Amino acid sequence: MSASTLTETKSLTGSFTAEAFAAHLAGLPPLPPWWLDRKRAAFERFASLPMPSATDETWRFSNRSTLTLDGFQLPPTSASAASLHAPIGIKKSAKLVFVNGRLATRETLAADLAQRGVIVDTLQNALHQHGDRVREHLLAQPARLGSAKFAALHEAFLTDGAFISVPKGVEVELPIGVFSYAAGAGAAVFPHTLVVAGDNSKVTVVEYFGSSVDADAHFAVGANDLYASHGAHLTYIGKQDWSLRTLSFQLNSTIVRRDARVQSLNLHLGARQARHESLSQLQAPGAFSEMLALTVAHDAQEFDQRTLQIHEAPNTKSDLLYKNALRDRAKTIFSGLIVVDPDAQKTDAYQSNRNLMLSDDCEASSLPGLEIQANDVRCTHGATTSRIDPEQEFYLQSRGIAKEAADELLTFGFFEDVLNRLASDELHAALRTLIQSKFKK
């Protein structure tokens, strides 16, 4: 399908030209040849792929007119780590802080974890020290959900990111934190987090995206690769809190192996237009992927969420719950697809999108999809869009709670059944605080 039918004049590359790419490569330390080749190929893909067009089903309902590369550029290499705010006060076992794609500060692992082989390092170091593992998992899955062009941009201009690897049988009790900030007007950042959880290991990764100065416009194309080997338990929390003028892409790929379990929860608060693509592949029996998301949309924000649950093996399970609360003129899109391959009998797949409409100008679109090619399966999906239940509101008012307070309580209640799925009370409390702070703004 060609996009030539459109008369769009937007540039295909913006300031991300061949010259900018050459300068980007020149600024990097020596790279392994395979990675250099992949980056070059990715740049070619990025430069040649068209911008999303009106006939792209993967962009249905999305606002494409505000989707532009113009006005963004690679940030200067030196950026101050000042005026960063660490939003969640939870204890961590290790921490990496990136500003404009470069490591700013870090807190290293406790000696005993490091001794047992747990690695929390930058991708730049890992490319050399753990090249094979990085090569196997880094951006290994093609972008199938519509943002191939932006995924290629990410790969071409990826400077640094986090590499987390937990060896067989090791459990990391406290979460590992990864913080990515954008600083400077028009800064383009490409954060990346790669997590490899070995057989029967257990780890929680908490990622935070934010802007150093709230007023600036940024362009973020982030990606993460989550790999859970046999029997591993991997929990991933992503908190997106870019400035309200940011154009954001976040591309996730999750692979779940035999009897492994991945729980991911993405909290979407920031950005002017944010697109999140999440791909879960259940590759072996017993694999379970739980995909959760909470969005608080206000003003004229647009949140565009696209998900794909692929059941490639029998006896696999996936459970998706995406909840959006919409205020003002905000807009949300949820487009999800469950694919059950012909051999994946005994699949148990669930997909649910709930939209809570809090104003008369907000707009919610749902595209919950199923493609089932095996017959012995349990697949259901549901989508609802409604306002706060007037009866519940009335009940609270009858107990002396003012209408605004009642609505707020009911909205927080709306999010609670997602937050309740978290095993950690501390994380639960931290996320709740973050959501409430956006409401109070």
Partner 1 sequence: MKPLSDTLSAPDTDEAAANPVVGIDQTKGDFQYKVAYEFDAGTGLSEKTVRYISSVKKEAPWILEFRLNALKKFLSMPMPTHWATKDLENINFDKIRYYLASGQKPKRTWDEVPADIKRTFERLGIPEQERKFLAGVEAQFDSEAAYSNIKEIVAKQGVIFANSTEALREHPEIFRKFFGKVIPTGDNKFSALNSAVFSGGSFIYVPKGVKVAQPLQAYFRINAENFGQFERTLIICDEGAEVVYMEGCTAPKFSTSTLHSAVVELVALKGAKIQYITVQNWANNVFNLVTKRGVAHEEAEIKWIDCNIGSRLTMKYPGVVLKGRKARGEVLSIALANDGQHQDTGAKMIHAADETTSNIIAKSISVGQGRSTYRGVVHIPKHLKGCKNNTECDALLINSNSRTDTYPAISVRGDRHAVQHEASVSKVSADQIFYMQSRGLTEGQAMSLSVNGFINDLARQFPMEYSVELKRLIDLEMEGSVG
- Which residues are near partner 1 by CB under 8 A? 1, 5, 55-57, 60-61, 342, 345, 355, 357-387
Q: Which residues pair with 226 in a beta bridge?
A: 195, 254
Cα dihedral across residues 177, 332, 148, 370: positive or negative:
positive
In the bound state with partner 1, the residue whose beta carbon lies nearer, of 238 and 336, is 336
In the bound state with partner 1, the residue whose beta carbon lies nearer, of 379 and 434, is 379
- Token couple for 73: 């550029």
Cα dihedral across residues 429, 431, 434, 436: positive or negative:
negative
Shortest Å, Cβ 67 to partner 1? 18
- Token couple for 440: 């109070």
In the bound state with partner 1, the residue whose beta carbon lies nearer, of 7 and 78, is 7
User: How far is it, in rounded angstroms, from Cα 217 to Cα 211?
Assistant: 9
Shortest Å, Cβ 3 to partner 1? 11
Shortest Å, Cβ 366 to partner 1? 4
In the bound state with partner 1, the residue whose beta carbon lies nearer, of 75 and 146, is 146
Shortest Å, Cβ 390 to partner 1? 10
Relative to beta strand 317-326, strand 288-297 is parallel
Mapped onto helix, strand or coil, the DSSP state of residue 82 is coil
DSSP string, 237-273: EEEEE--TT-EEEEEEEEEE-TT-EEEEEEEE---SE
Axis crossing angle, helix 33-48 with helix 148-157, rounded to the nearest 10: 140
In the bound state with partner 1, the residue whose beta carbon lies nearer, of 320 and 379, is 379
Q: What is the 3 state secondary structure string of 183-213?
A: CCCCEEECCEEEEEECCCCEEEEEEEEEECC
Report whether 270 contacts 244 (CB < 8 A). Answer: yes
Shortest Å, Cβ 368 to partner 1? 6
If residue 148 lies in a helix (H) or strand (E), which one and from where to where? Answer: helix 148-157
Shortest Å, Cβ 63 to partner 1? 13
In the bound state with partner 1, the residue whose beta carbon lies nearer, of 229 and 324, is 324
In the bound state with partner 1, the residue whose beta carbon lies nearer, of 339 and 434, is 339
- Token couple for 124: 């730049």
User: How far is it, in rounded angstroms, from Cα 286 to Cα 96?
Assistant: 33
Shortest Å, Cβ 342 to partner 1? 6
The torsion of the CA quartet 430, 196, 256, 249, rounded to 10 degrees, works out to 60
Shortest Å, Cβ 11 to partner 1? 24
Size of the chain in residues: 441
Shortest Å, Cβ 338 to partner 1? 9
Q: Which of 179, 197, 172 is nearest to 93 (CA)?
A: 172
In the bound state with partner 1, the residue whose beta carbon lies nearer, of 122 and 315, is 315
- Token couple for 100: 């404009």
Q: Which of 379, 373, 377, 376 is nearest to 342 (CA)?
A: 373
In the bound state with partner 1, the residue whose beta carbon lies nearer, of 206 and 364, is 364
Shortest Å, Cβ 273 to partner 1? 17
In the bound state with partner 1, the residue whose beta carbon lies nearer, of 173 and 376, is 376
Relative to beta strand 302-311, strand 331-340 is parallel
